Structure 1
């Protein structure tokens, strides 16, 4: 649900319940339970994630900043001189 990784909700729910070894799982129960989540929980989870991220001091810096980058681009190099 949160880390979809390009999966459908059905596959994500299936993987989640397999990991927890939940045998009596139905998609309907998952979706009904999901609807009961309060939006505030995502704010709390985000706050906790950021606190943990900035608490960790085991990292390198660039000019005293944490540098994060994601590059999904593709580059084709020419195959000649």
Structure 2
């Protein structure tokens, strides 16, 4: 799990000569971060996830949307996806 906690044994100065810790290089690449294609870049995935939610794609169920992360946040503790609950009429 990233980031490593400050007390991680991997960050122990005693093993610094044998263990090097680097950030995930692929995540730092320009294409990975900024490409608008959701198959390549996080920016594109973020935008496509938002579009899917706003347009109600995948039946309006965020748990089925490929670019929505933390899908568990969209499921009520009863196990019912938020998308299946009635929504208030807001004008």
Bucket of the pairwise TM-score, normalised by the shorter protein: under 0.3
Give the TM-score normalised by the residue count of structure 1.
0.28
